[in-house]
Amino acid sequence: MPSRGVAAPPVAADYQRSLALRGDWSHLTRDVPFPARWSDDGKTLYYRKTVQEGFAFVAMDRATLRKAPAFDAKRIAAALGRATGERVTGRDLPFDSFTIRGNPRHLEFMIHDEDWSCGLQDDACGPVQTGLRPRGFDAVRDLRVPARNTPVPSPDGTWEAFVRADNVVVRAKAGGAETRLSLDGTASDFYDPESIVWSPDSRHLAVLRVRPGFARYVTRVEAAPRDGGQPRIHTQLYPKPGDIIDSEQPVLFDVASGRGRDIRTDDFADAYPLRNGDVGWSRDGKFLMFPFVQRGYQRAGFISVEVETGRAHLAADERARTFVDAGRLYEHVVGNEGRELIWVSERDGWRHLYLFDMTTGHIERQITKGPWVVREVLRVDDRKREIWFGASGMTPGEDPYFVHYYRIGFDGSHLTALTPETANHHAAISPDGALLADTYSRVDLASRSMLRSAEDGHVVGSVETGDDTGLRATGFRPPEVFHAKGRDGTTDIWGLVVRPRDYDPARKYPVVENIYAGPHDSFVPKDFWPFGYHSGGDKVIGMQALADLGFIVVQIDGMGTANRSRAFHDVAWKNLADSGFPDRILWHRAMAARDPSYDITRVGIYGGSAGGQSALNALLFHPEFYKAAVAFAGCYDNRMDKIDWNEQWLGWPVDESYVRASGVENAGRLQGRLLMIVGEQDANVDPSSTFQVASALIRANKNFELLVVPGGGHATGRSEGPIGYAERREFGFFVRTLQDGREPDWNRLSETDRTNRHEE
């Protein structure tokens, strides 16, 4: 048997090939469909698919299955280019999913987490302006911006309500004198005009009275504006853990009598602010209803208010010893009559659907049950008393993260599987509830899309069948899926492995882990599309680019992440320093025992945002295993980061758990080699988090590397900034620290040299 050798360090041409891999490979598949959406009338299915040199946007007629371009992509590209000042082509529009609605018709989509709209007749493109007052992470209203105070008409068209001088006013819609319904509103305790909601019978209205929270602002200096000139100052409303948040008091007004009544309930005390649209009415106008999450995320529920008496009671109550996952709450008022409520709960240790009696707050029955997880609810049919939902972990022997879709009765009967293929499914149900548009794939199976009956799942028609022949012909090798036992010795931990295209099992390869351990989700890819369904972030293709420089690159979902049991998830509670490392290290060791080429004496790790915090923590808390780390835009001290994400997992008030996870407090523990990369204008994670770690490392006399990208945002190194620059710095760092190699002298390479090397 040949001796195990070590591959030669990469040269400039190898880096260039890796950095060009996304561009070289991204258009080699054909007819790979992305998850679809239905038109509002349910007659048309809209989706994106891969074609030669880019993407096409398709509209398929439901009745005939005929396909046509959904819109003129070249025109939209030109309009988007004018609106953004960026180069946009019709074959590479910067969004994955879209909707067409309205008259005149307009195209709706998202760019960089911002809603956009383009008119299909006038080609006018721009961000969607809601006119609503911004809020800092949904916790504090930005009082620098006036609230939208457009009069809100009553359903019968008789009245309209608005706020004048911080108080609620009504007047006849046809004109006439104004009637003040409140007199106690002040600038420091005001009625919010954006929260006004009329009862269906137009007799009552509800509104929130608000005591403003603490307006904390983060200040950033833009040292090198792209258009030249002097540095600029940017301020951002940025509430942090422990800050005083907006306090809201629901108030109910009787329009005829002018009487107002505060909705008093201890259950709503210390609640996080409600979102626009959270407050609603029963169809008969007898009940006012709204959800709540108490601060600290250990209690949530749904409140029903009897309008005639003002009595408020819990229609559903969710409590947790650790946390209630607010991002995964779901409620549906059956028939909108205020009598029954479908609610998601983890009270039996798994995320399931329950039917509550809203008048008593008692559970009528548990609808779904078993050692598996409800992932989403597609549709509730109140008349048929049936639910369509997605779930994972129900099929024995299958990857427990694969989502399948099901139909079930309110009483838990007639559970029907609708998407049987062993794959990860994305489904959209037609507005009439008759059809499912099902797109499914695996990392080793190109995406397929079809129409199914929502009754029993039988295939009605084929939409698209993806073809990855061209991609595989260039050397694409699907990631290897691997699972091993976690820290408890019984739970399977799932991950995937990406090897170099010239992988030689007779060699020893250093290992690099791509980590994101945020408790809000699971992250190991389950879908085929190696470039990701959404813009930004790390994809399989990025892992392949690094692997081709002589590494084995892996990604793992350890304990503390979501979409498994409650116990699996609870590991994260007040324990963000854990990041699933005990499970990850066992997974690595199991992989090494199986594969001699997997060298766990040379393990590196990289990640961004919460993954950046985890990458640093690998060197602080597990230096015996991890030797090098690249941390992008990390929230290294959770006291410096945004309020909502951090209080969700570490609780409130701020306590010792924030200190235990802090890279600042633990900087003196650093061992191994560290590179931190941060964008100067990061609006997601306060850049001060990076600089405070750097300061602490210097005080501790620790060596490290720091790259600050002027003007860069949160995604610096992935989808922003100089193309490939931060990523090349990451690649070179791992070559130096794990391979003992030397990077090319990039400063001495001319553009001609680089081009020639790439063409080699």
432 located within any domain: yes
- Cβ(181)–Cβ(159) under 8 Å? no
**Residue 649 corresponds to which tokens in the numbers above?**
């997992």
pLDDT confidence of residue 26:
86
The percentage of residues in the chain with a pLDDT greater than 70, rounded to a whole number, is 96
Is the alpha carbon torsion for 83, 87, 91, 94 positive or negative?
Answer: negative
> Based on the structure, what is the number of domains in the chain?
5
Mean pLDDT, rounded, of the chain: 94
Torsion of CA 368, 372, 377, 382, to 10 degrees: -10
Q: Specify whether 146 is located in the same domain as 50.
A: no
648 located within any domain: yes
pLDDT confidence of residue 469:
97
Specify the residue for token string 């099929």: 395
Helix locations, 419-536, DSSP H:
469-473
Any residues with CB less than 8 A from the CB of 599 and at least 6 apart, and which?
A: 508, 509, 510, 511, 592
Q: Band the pLDDT of 416: cuts 50, 70, 90.
A: very high
Pick from 111, 129, 147: which residue ends a domain?
A: 129
Rounded Cα–Cα distance for residues 515 and 606 (Å):
6
pLDDT confidence of residue 717:
58
Residue-range definition of the domain harbouring residue 64: 31-129
Is the alpha carbon torsion for 586, 587, 592, 595 positive or negative?
Answer: positive
Specify the residue for token string 């439901």: 62
Q: Has residue 638 got a pLDDT over 50?
A: yes
Q: Has residue 758 got a pLDDT over 50?
A: no
Q: Band the pLDDT of 2: cuts 50, 70, 90.
A: very low
- Cβ(10)–Cβ(744) under 8 Å? no
374 located within any domain: no
The amino acid at residue 714 is H
Rounded Cα–Cα distance for residues 211 and 407 (Å):
44
Per DSSP, which regions of 412-519 are E strands?
416-417, 424-429, 435-442, 445-453, 459-465, 480-485, 492-498, 509-514
pLDDT confidence of residue 729:
95
Average pLDDT, integer, range 655-666: 98
385 located within any domain: no
568 located within any domain: yes
Rounded Cα–Cα distance for residues 176 and 153 (Å):
14
372 located within any domain: no
Pick from 467, 487, 506: which residue ends a domain?
A: 467
**Residue 333 corresponds to which tokens in the numbers above?**
């008022």
Q: Specify whether 52 is located in the same domain as 85.
A: yes
Rounded Cα–Cα distance for residues 227 and 342 (Å):
53
Rounded Cα–Cα distance for residues 677 and 618 (Å):
16
Q: Specify whether 681 is located in the same domain as 552.
A: yes
Q: Specify whether 648 is located in the same domain as 716.
A: yes
Q: Specify whether 211 is located in the same domain as 301.
A: no
Rounded Cα–Cα distance for residues 546 and 542 (Å):
6
Q: Has residue 534 got a pLDDT over 90?
A: no
The number of beta carbons lying within 10 Å of the beta carbon of residue 159 is: 22
108 located within any domain: yes
3-state secondary structure of 117: strand
Q: What is the pTM of this model?
A: 0.95
pLDDT tens-digit series, residues 700-733: 999 999 999 999 999 875 544 345 789 999 999 9
The amino acid at residue 343 is W
4 located within any domain: no
Rounded Cα–Cα distance for residues 616 and 604 (Å):
11
Rounded Cα–Cα distance for residues 346 and 551 (Å):
40
Rounded Cα–Cα distance for residues 24 and 83 (Å):
28
Helix locations, 62-159, DSSP H:
73-84
Average pLDDT, integer, range 586-604: 98
Average pLDDT, integer, range 86-96: 92
Q: Band the pLDDT of 7: cuts 50, 70, 90.
A: low
Q: Specify whether 436 is located in the same domain as 500.
A: no
340-345, strands of its sheet edge to edge: 331-333, 340-345, 352-357, 362-366
Pick from 71, 101, 129: which residue ends a domain?
A: 129
- Cβ(283)–Cβ(335) under 8 Å? yes
CATH number of the domain within which 506 lies: 3.40.50.1820
pLDDT tens-digit series, residues 670-702: 999 999 999 999 999 999 999 999 999 999 999
Q: For 124, phi and psi rounded to 5 degrees?
A: -80, 125
Q: Specify whether 654 is located in the same domain as 746.
A: yes
pLDDT confidence of residue 6:
65
Q: Has residue 760 got a pLDDT over 50?
A: no
Q: Specify whether 237 is located in the same domain as 305.
A: no
Minimal CA–CA distance to 609: which of 724, 695, 495, 523? 523
The number of beta carbons lying within 10 Å of the beta carbon of residue 461 is: 12
Rounded Cα–Cα distance for residues 429 and 62 (Å):
12
Specify the residue for token string 């990025």: 542
**Residue 209 corresponds to which tokens in the numbers above?**
């009275």
pLDDT confidence of residue 757:
41
Q: Has residue 82 got a pLDDT over 70?
A: yes
Q: Specify whether 458 is located in the same domain as 571.
A: no
Minimal CA–CA distance to 29: which of 541, 477, 470, 441? 470
Q: Specify whether 480 is located in the same domain as 520.
A: yes
- Cα–Cα–Cα angle for 675, 681, 686, nearest 5°? 70
Q: Specify whether 109 is located in the same domain as 35.
A: yes
Q: Taking the CA of residue 290 as centre, how many other CA atoms within 13 Å lie in the half-sphere pointing to its CB? A: 29
Q: Taking the CA of residue 286 as centre, how many other CA atoms within 13 Å lie in the half-sphere pointing to its CB? A: 6
pLDDT tens-digit series, residues 262-291: 998 888 889 999 998 999 999 999 999 999
pLDDT tens-digit series, residues 169-222: 999 988 888 999 999 999 999 999 999 999 999 999 999 999 999 999 999 999
Q: Specify whether 180 is located in the same domain as 62.
A: no
- Cβ(628)–Cβ(225) under 8 Å? no
Q: Which residues of 462-484 are buried (b: 16+ CB within 10 A; e: fewer)?
A: ebbebebeebeeeebebbbbbbb
